């Protein structure tokens, strides 16, 4: 066991997760890298894979039992696992809604419930990876927005519940980031649309085209910048309640402060939806 202690991160096999595993490992932590399947994480001296599917409560409980037999406590639990379900709400199938919440909202709740004894024993903290959509709902990202809003509420309630033990609960809010999650979301959206009524999909064709065009203008930031902030949230003696990264700073500083009408107009203009007529 490293002198820096142990941390757990979920969703460790790509993007922000992989970068954070590497960054924490370099900082001397023993990193328990949670993933649905083992063998997908580069072998490093102080990185240990653990089978953990956040959407499966039994898997989460088994992982917590495993770690309880290996460590006396955890310095941090990082809820990073996440998926993006995109598309107009009318076109998102019920099973995709369930998948969105099982991973992004119910998953972190399961992880917190099972791993809190180890966090309490290690005088550690909870770090939840959110998104700007958790504070400002985006059109065509209604499912994602709802799931991240749930994570935000969970985090804020948990912070007060754990204050008696001086366990910080931190939200890290990345902006657009260069990861495979967006490509996977696009592929899932296309599959869902193929199973939907063609007439219904046609109703939203202009919306979908405008959204795709607007998305192409965004320049995603590197995952390493997000990992650096997560490390800061883990190491700081007095971490902030929220850390924002990249263009999330602009979204948080501007959109959350606008009156509702102006916010709706700004979002419609940004995504090219303002001129669409039925």
State residue 184's pLDDT score.
56
- DSSP 3-state assignment of 8? strand
pLDDT digits (tens), the chain, 278 positions: 556 899 999 999 989 999 999 999 999 999 999 999 887 776 677 899 999 999 999 999 999 999 999 999 999 999 999 999 989 999 999 999 999 999 999 999 999 999 999 999 999 999 999 999 999 999 999 999 999 999 999 999 999 999 999 999 999 999 887 666 545 545 555 665 666 678 888 888 989 888 888 877 777 788 999 999 999 999 999 999 999 998 887 776 688 889 999 999 988 998 889 888 87
- Domains of the chain plus CATH, in order, are 6-270 (3.40.50.720)
Give the HSE-up count for residue 146: Cα atoms under 13 Å, Cβ half-sphere. 16
Q: How far apart are CA 247 and CA 56, in angstroms?
A: 32
* Residue 78 φ/ψ, nearest 5 degrees: -110, 110
Q: Hey, what's the torsion of the CAs at 250, 151, 226, 72, to 10 degrees?
A: 150
Give the HSE-up count for residue 120: Cα atoms under 13 Å, Cβ half-sphere. 11
């Amino acid at each position: 066991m490293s002198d820096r202690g142990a941390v757990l991160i979920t969703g460790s096999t790509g993007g922000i997760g992989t970068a954070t595993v590497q960054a924490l490992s370099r900082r001397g932590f023993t990193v328990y890298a949670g993933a649905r399947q083992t063998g997908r994480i580069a072998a490093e001296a102080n990185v240990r894979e653990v089978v953990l599917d956040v959407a499966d409560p039994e898997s989460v409980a088994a992982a917590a039992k495993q770690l309880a037999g290996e460590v006396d406590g955890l310095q941090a639990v990082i809820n990073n696992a996440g998926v993006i379900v995109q598309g107009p709400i009318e076109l998102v199938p019920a099973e995709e809604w369930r998948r969105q919440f099982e991973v992004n909202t119910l998953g972190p709740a399961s992880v917190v419930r099972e791993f809190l004894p180890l966090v309490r024993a290690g005088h550690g903290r909870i770090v939840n990876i959110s998104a700007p959509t958790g504070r400002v709902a985006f059109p065509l990202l209604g499912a994602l927005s709802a799931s991240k809003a749930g994570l935000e509420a969970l985090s804020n309630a948990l912070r007060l519940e754990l204050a008696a033990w001086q366990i910080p609960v931190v939200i890290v809010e990345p902006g657009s980031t260069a990861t495979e999650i967006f490509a996977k979301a696009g592929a899932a959206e296309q599959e869902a649309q193929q199973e939907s009524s063609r007439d219904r999909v046609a109703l939203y064709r202009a919306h979908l085209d405008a959204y795709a065009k607007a998305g192409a203008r965004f320049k995603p930031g590197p995952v390493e910048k997000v990992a650096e902030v997560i490390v800061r949230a883990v190491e700081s003696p007095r971490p902030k309640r929220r850390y924002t990264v990249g263009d999330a700073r602009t979204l948080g500083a501007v959109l959350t402060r606008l009156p509702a009408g102006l916010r709706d107009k700004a979002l419609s203009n940004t995504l090219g939806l303002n001129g669409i007529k039925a």
